Amino acid sequence: MDTLPHVITTPNLTTTFRHGLTTSTLRYSNPRLFRSFKVANNFRVSSELKSRNNTTTIDYTDPDWKMKFTENFEKRFRLPHVTDTLPDSVSMPSTFCLKMRTPVKSGVPGNYQLDEEWNGYINDNDRVLLKTIYHSSPTSAGAECIDPGCNWVEQWVHRAGPRKNIYFKPEEVKAAIVTCGGLCPGLNDVIRQIVITLEIYGVKKIVGIPFGYRGFTNKELTEVPLSRKVVQNIHLSGGSLLGVSRGGPDVSEIVDSLEERGINMLFVLGGNGTHAGANAIHNECCKRRLKVSIIGVPKTIDNDILLMDKTFGFDTAVEEAQRAINAAYIEAHSAYHGIGIVKLMGRSSGFIAMQSSLASGQIDICLIPEVPFNLHGPHGVLSHLKYLIESKGSAVVCVAEGAGQNLLKKTNATDASGNVIFGDIGVYIQQETKKHFKEIGIHADVKYIDPTYMIRACRANASDGILCTVLGQNAVHGAFAGFSGITVGTCNTHYAYFPIPEVISHPQLVDPNSRMWHRCLTSTGQPDFD
C-alpha cells in the first residue's frame, strides 16, 4: 500500500526515547502526550527528498554515507530487551513447541526440555526487508528516496516469531491484556489468541484490564480472569470483551498498579496514542528496573500506523463500507438526478475511503484528507457533480471524515485522547450540494449515509481474523523472548517486530503521488478539484 514520504514538524515538544544503543527523537505538538496519552493532529507535512525513517542529517558527499545510514538505522530499529535493564536476566529453553505437547508440570518448576529436532523457531538474526522497490528516480510514482540520487539502501527489521530461549518462567508470569481507544473489528480475535498462546507456553495467570488504561486505577473496575474456556468463542462477535475507553491516568500510576498486581507481561491493543502510552510505560518500567515486558498490537481501523502493510480491522472496514456505498448507489441511480454521499472513517488518512472506492467501482468522487479540494468554483466538486448529473443522471461521492476540514468552522474541542473533534464534512457537503443545485435551478435528490459505527462494531472478516490470530501469537512470542517496548505488524507480507517509537512519530498517510491513489482516480474519473 503506497504511502507518503514526509517530514513532520511540530513545534512545542521534543521527547527523547532511549532504546538499545541509540536515541530517537520524536516531536509532538501536545505537551501532555505522556501524561494522558494524547496524540497531536495539528501536524504539517512537507514532501522532501528525505526518508521518513531518517531523523539524522546525512552528508551525501561522504563516500561512506550509505554505511553510516545503515548503522544508524540498525541502532534505531534494535529491539529493546529486558537484559538492557537487567543484564543478569538468564534465558531458558522455550516451553513452546508444537511437537512437544506435554504441558509444563507445576510440580517441576524450571524443568524445561528443548526439542532440538523442531525447526519452528525464529533465529534472532532473521530479518525482513522493509522496502522492496528500487525507485530509479525521485519522480517515479510513490518514490521514497533517501538521497537526491534515489540510491538503494537495504533496510531490515526484525522477524517475529517464537525463539528457542525465553526469559520468563511461565509459572511466574502474570499476563494482562488491555484494549484502548475506539472499537475496531478483530479486538476479540487478538485477545483470544493471546490467551491461547500464553496457555500453550504454560501461563496460568492471565487477566484482562477493563475499559482501557483507566482500568488500572479505577477502583470500581476489577480484573477479568481469562482462560481458553472464557475466550473460546469471543471472536464470533464484534467489540471487545474487555471494553474500551480513551485517555487514562498518569504513567507512574499505571506502573504502580502493575507492581501491585504482580503483572510482568502487558499486551496493549491500540493505535498511535495507545502505543505512545505503552512506550511511556515501558520506559518507566526500565527506570524502576522492573522485569516487565510491554508489547503493543497496533489497532487502528484507519490503517495509519507507519511501516506496516496494514493494521487489523482495515480489511473488514473496507468490506463493510461496500454495503453503504452500494446503498448510496442504488438510491442515487433509482432517483431522478440522484446524488448519494457516503462518509467513511479516516481522520488524517484516507485509506478506507480510497480502498472502498476502488473496491466498489461505484464511486464518482473520492475525497480524502491528504488531497485538498474546493467545493465551489469552476473546478470544484459541485461543478463536477453538475456535469455528472447532466451526463449520466446520477453520482456517488465517498468522503473521509477528515477531508475538507479547512472548509468547516473549527471548534478547538478535543476528545479524551486529545484528538481534535472534527466538523461533519459529510453533512456539510450534503447541505452545500442541495443549496447549490437549488440556486442553479436543477433538481437534485441528495441522500446521505454515515455507517461509521456499523463498520467498526462488526465482527472481523476472514482476512482480518487470520491477521489478528498471527498478531496475537507473535505478541506472546515477543514477550517470552524478552523484548519490551515493541509492537508487531506485517511488513512486506511477513510478520515483524518494531520498536514503538519508530511507528508512532506521526500517522501514515496516503501519498497523492502513489500508484494506488492514481488507480483510484482512474477508477472514479474525477478531475483535480483545485
Query: Residues within the annotated binding site?
Result: 182, 246-247, 271-274, 300-302, 345-347, 401, 453-456
CA distance 451 to 434: 21
Angle at the Cα of 318 from the Cα atoms of 312 and 319, rounded to 5 degrees: 100
| Contact call for residues 321 and 350 (beta carbons, < 8 A) | no
Side-chain half-sphere exposure of 2, counting CA atoms within 13 A: 19
Neighbours of 323 (CB within 10 A): 15
Residue 162: which residues within 8 A CB-CB, separation 6 or more? 94, 96, 120, 121, 122, 477, 480, 481
Quote the crossing angle between the two packed helices 272-287 and 251-261, to the nearest 10°: 60
Q: Which of 189, 193, 191 is nearest to 176 (CA)?
A: 191
List residues bridging with 367 in a β-sheet. 399
Secondary structure of 466-529 in HEC code, one letter for each residue: HHHHHHHHHHHHHHHCCECCEEEEEECCEEEEEEHHHCCCCCCCECCCCHHHHHHHHHHCCCCC
From 2, 84, 189, 302, active-site residue: 302
Contact 311, 272 (CB under 8 A): no
Instruction: Specify binding-site residues for Mg(2+).
Output: 272
315 labelled catalytic: no
Q: Which residue has the cell 494522558?
A: 36
Binding residues for substrate: 300-302, 345-347, 401, 453-456
Question: What is the Cβ-side half-sphere exposure of residue 163, based on CA atoms within 13 angstroms?
Answer: 23
Annotated binding-site positions for ATP = 182, 246-247, 271-274
**DSSP code at position 199:** H
Q: Which three cell numbers stand for residue 44?
A: 504539517
Burial of 24 per CB tally in 10 Å (0-12, 13-18, 19+): buried
| Residues assigned a catalytic role | 302
